[in-house]
Structure 1
Amino acid sequence: MSDDDQMEVESPIIEKDPSIYAEEKKEEGNVFYKNKQYIDALNCYSKAIELCPTCAAYYGNRAATYMMLYKYLEALEDARQSVRLDSAFVKGYVREGKCHLALGDPTAAGRSYQQVLMLEPQNSTALTDLALADRVKKFEEIADADFQKGDYRKVLYCMERCIETCPACVRYRIRKAEVLALLGRYQESQEFANDILRKDSMNADAIHVRGMCLYYQDNIDKAFQHFQQVLRLAPDHQKARDIYRKAKALIAKKEEGNKEFRSGNLQAAYDLYTEALDIDPNNKFTNSKLYFNRATVGSKLNKMEEAIADCTRAVDLDDTYLKAYLRRAKCYMDTEQFDDAVRDYEKIFKLDKSQENKRLLQEAKLELKKSKRKDYYKILGIAKTATVDEIKKAYRKRALVHHPDRHSHDTPDVQKEEEKKFKEVGEAYSILSDERKKSRYDSGADLDELEGGGGFDFGVDPNQIFQTFFSSGGGPGFSFGGPQGGGGIPGGFTFQFG
């Protein structure tokens, strides 16, 4: 047979084992992973798994890559699969524990790390992370107890520590948003809730928190819409059900109080506002208004100290509440607590620099200035509206009561005190009986700046005032006669006290 007649036989093609291709893809993925090119690494590990779906290490590597991409749920599934394929795969258990911890399940994380320590008792990662898991559980316990006590600042601190260790835990973020709302930090609370809703628009807990913020900011209609949506998504959502019930009761009671106030039933309104304040202590905005409303009614019922206390509670809850400051300042003025009134009007003027508020501040300062002087009306025991005759009668009565001759047999201390009072009575009469001086005194002007100079001589002899007054025939209750008496009493007055 010739060479030309020989048939050409093709060499058989030997295909590469898929496991070899898979290993090549894994190595390629490792390079991408080290260079922080996680998407490319993820694609390589996924291809390796397709080629060899029974290799635990490939799932472990992909789990590590998902973790770097903050996709902890996907990472957890791969880690679980890796230990299902190889029950002695330590890295799989470590990654499973890290995913549980990141997702906020410290108990499950602890179980994973215990598996690691059974295989490698000195595994440093497992020992460190197991302590972190226990720490998170402790913070959870503290937060639960403090939430029941209403110590929301401490709850916030605990949640922030938990989130540091468990960055993918939605539950901790929801609770942080909730306590931020309860602390009145509504903007921050809504930002947390909105971040959750961007990833899960049907998250009932986040919708509930956003409804809380609206409710506490007095946006009742929108708040009710949110609570209703929560209950459609989760009919057994107890917190949404409770706050929805409280919100409706609070608004109804407040409106009932307003109705009684408008009808002039002040005590009924006062009682209804009191009942409303017991409904939801966490609603600072509405409660601030309720305290102001009750203060308004209280001032009309002449419960001035209670009204001042309610205004103080109102501004404690809302330090920009202008009406509450105005009401408290007015109560301070009415009760002659002028120092406090001036402080309030200064705050008011800072908040609203209107001409009216400027006038109120000036009036308060004037009354404060006047209050620092001797109160001549009080010394004579008369009202500021007293007539000339009432001023004379008051002087006559007080002068006779405090005249030194009447107390000549008392102890030196008593004599000294009565002499002082006698002098003050004389000063009071000298000012209030003079129309020009009285006008300046009432206006708060300095008495030593009287027109014409000279002003009032406070060193004037009170006995001279007394002698002038009684010698003019204005002193019934005593008789003239006899030689010149002592003690500054003219003509030997003989007192006839009843």
Structure 2
Amino acid sequence: MADVEMGKNNADLSNNMDNSSENGMETDQEVAEAKKNEGNELYKSGDDQAIECYSEAIGTCPMCASYYNNRAAAYMMLDKYQQALEDVQEALRLNNKLVKGYLREAKCHIALGSADAAVRSLERLADIEPSNKQAESEMRTAKLVQLHDLAAEKAFIDGDFRKVVYDMDRAIDRAPASSRFKIRRAEALAKLKRFSEAQETINGLLLRDPMNADALYVRGLCLYYQDSIEKAQQHFQQVLRLAPDHKIAITAFKKCKLLKGKKDQGNEAFKKGQFQAAYDLYTEALSIDPHNVNTNAKLYCNRATVGAKLKRLEESIQDCTSAIELDENYLKAYMRRAKCFYDTEQFEEAVRDYDKIYNMDKTRDNKRLLQDAKLELKKSKRKDYYKVLSITKAASEDEIKKAYRKHALLHHPDRHANKSVDERKQEEIKFKEVNEAYSILSDTKKRYRYDSGQDLEEMEGFSGFDPNQIFQTFFGGPGFSFGSNGGGGHGFPGGSNFSSGGGGGGGFPGGFHFQFS
């Protein structure tokens, strides 16, 4: 607590005593001194009523510097540094040799963040009392505040906003009433996406000074970076009404207006089904401000939605990934990407995203989506019999038969008898897969169980599968000749041989022989 002037200051007292007090009435000066003394007692006990007593003393004797100086000390006790500064400057105007006045002036300047002004006050004090130890201490404090102020300014220009916050925290420890430092710190916090901290500081400042243009600008900036574009625009407009030449607010307002315009146009084009136009507008919007991560995350997700409508699913996946990189908890972007992964049969990635989605939002629908993706992943790791026969999952019974006929004849080992051993083995494998596919897809019950993801080993009658028997059943009849000549084998059990001429034994049990036309 700063010391107050406890005794009479003869240099401050008026020599013109009230001569009408000869009848025992107190003079104005005596009344004022009594009020000052009462204020001193209240000040020592930390009672803010001291200000009222000092004010009465000033009202009675307005030319006494010590009264202003004492009231300044009381204001400082209440952290009302601006009022204290005004009082102490009035005291120094009345008495420019007031040592405590210069000390208090310097303290107020430091608390308000005006370290340069504090240095000037202390230099004037040094001319009066060069060896004042308290002045030396305050000078060190003022120099330290200057150092942090300059460091923060440089860091802000360099874009090192964490350093800005660090230096401003150090400066505010010594300059707790500096709006400028608090605004700079809040702006750096906004740049770091620490919006709640920034807004807490700014709201406190605006509560005391609703017309602070710089504070309004930073609150608008927080809103802008949180994708509250319309509210941000309103704040920037208010800043420009208060300070028409506020350069960064002018730039922010223009950027805000342009970004909102492009985004709204893209949304409108999407609603009208003009997907390519919407895609182009979202792309233009994304180029406006790369630092606005929240808005850009939504723009990427919007463009991903349009990309899916345009059947550009890989581009849609990339846009969703960009949105998630900007906002790791963006549920809608995960949903869109998971759907694109699912539609492009990238089931491992789909499962990963749906698992993330379910952990973020444990709903019944999200659980079902995860289960569906897991089922498709399980199915994808088996042989795809539809692909083996080159048919769709909606293929009819006739389409399955036609596909089997085509592929069975194409991969029949007898057709590849003149190829190398490795090539013949590959064709035999393919021939077996074709027959496996037909055995499953031609049976309604097995096909249903296969489509539902049941393990093949669990299917009744699947074990002990014989491709030759299926081929015989399918092709047995006109156009085939049968013989019992036991020619050389081509890799089927029992030395089976598929031939395209009149020699050799048939490739099926019992010596069936098939001739290609």
One-letter amino acid of the counterpart of residue 488, structure 1: G
Q: CA deviation at 1:141?
A: 3.7
Of the candidates 299, 304, 318, which is equivalent to residue 295 of structure 1?
304
Shift in CA distance, 423/493, structure 1 to aligned 2, threshold 3 Å: closer
Change (3 A) 1:90 1:377: farther
- Letter matched to residue 456 of structure 2: L
The residue that corresponds to 2:46 in the other structure is 36
Structure 1 residue 425: Cα displacement:
6.3
Q: 2:344 aligns with which of 309, 332, 335?
A: 335
User: How far apart, in 2, do the equivalents of 1:31 and 1:167 lie?
Assistant: 27
**Range 389-398 or range 92-101, more displaced:** 389-398
How much has 1:117 moved relative to structure 2? 5.5
Aligned match of 1:7:
none
Task: Give the corresponding residue for 1:469.
Answer: 471
- Alpha carbons of structure 1 residues 143 and 456: separation in structure 2 relative to 1, 3 Å: farther
1:492 counterpart residue number: 497
Q: In structure 2, list runs of 5 or more residues that go unmatched.
A: 1-21, 502-515
CA deviation digits over 1:15-67, x for unaligned, max 9? 87876766555444333222111322x33444555666666554433322111
Deviates further, 333-342 or 169-178: 169-178
Q: 1:259 to 1:13 in 2, by over 3 A?
A: closer
Given that 2:155 and 2:163 are in contact with CA atoms closer than 8 Å, whether structure 1 keeps it comes out as yes
1:92 to 97, 101, 108: 101
Letter in 1 for 2:40: N
Q: Residue 63 and residue 468 in structure 1: after superposition, are their counterparts in 2 closer, same or farther (change >3 A)?
A: same
Give, as a single letter, the amino acid of the residue that structure 1 aligns with 2:247: Q
- The 8 Å contact of residues 296 and 323 in structure 2, kept in 1 or not, is answered as yes
Partner of 2:333: 324
Displacement after TM superposition at 1:269 (Å): 2.4
What is residue 394 of structure 1 aligned with on the other side?
407
1:281-328 superposed Cα distances (whole Å, 9 cap, x missing partner): 444443333212210122233332331232233345556654333211
* Cα deviation 1:68-108 (Å, max 9, x = unaligned): 12221121123334444555544322221221111121222
User: Any conservation in 1 of the 2:239–2:246 contact (CA below 8 Å)?
Assistant: yes
Residues 472 and 47 of structure 1, relative CA distance in 2, 3 Å threshold: closer
| Whole-angstrom distance in 2 between the partners of 1:94 and 1:415 | 102
Structure 2 counterpart of 1:306: 315
Look up the match of 2:280: 271
Distance 1:116 1:325, change over 3 A: same
Q: 8 Å contact 1:391–1:432 — kept in the other structure? A: no
Question: 1:407·1:418 contact (CA, 8 Å) conserved in 2?
Answer: no
Q: More helix by proportion, 1 or 2?
A: 1
Secondary structure of the residue that 1:492 maps to in structure 2?
A: coil
Q: Is the 8 A contact 1:102 1:166 kept in 2?
A: yes
Over 3 Å counting, the alpha-carbon distance change for 1:491 and 1:183 in structure 2 is closer
Read off the aligned partner of 1:292 and give its amino acid letter: C
Give the AA of the match of 1:492: N
> 8 Å contact 1:399–1:422 — kept in the other structure?
yes
1:205 maps to what in 2? 214
Distance between the aligned counterparts of 2:258 and 2:414, measured in 1? 62
1:456 aligns with 2:462: yes
Q: Which one of the candidate residues 355, 369, 374 is aligned to 1:365?
A: 374
21-30 or 244-253, which moves further after superposition? 21-30
* AA matched with 1:29: G
TM-score, normalised by the number of residues in structure 2: 0.75
- Structure-2 separation of matches of 1:402 and 1:48: 120
TM-score norm. by structure 1 comes to 0.77
Q: 2:259 aligns with which of 250, 255, 260?
A: 250
Does the CA contact (< 8 Å) of 1:403 and 1:422 recur in 2? Answer: no
Report what 2:175 is aligned to. Answer: 166
Q: Distance in 1 between matches of 2:57 and 2:181?
A: 36
Whole-Å separation in 2 of the counterparts to 1:349 and 1:71? 53
Which deviates more, 296-305 or 396-405? 396-405
Q: CA RMSD in A?
A: 4.2
CA contact (8 A) 1:485 1:493 kept: no
Aligned residue identity for 2:84: A
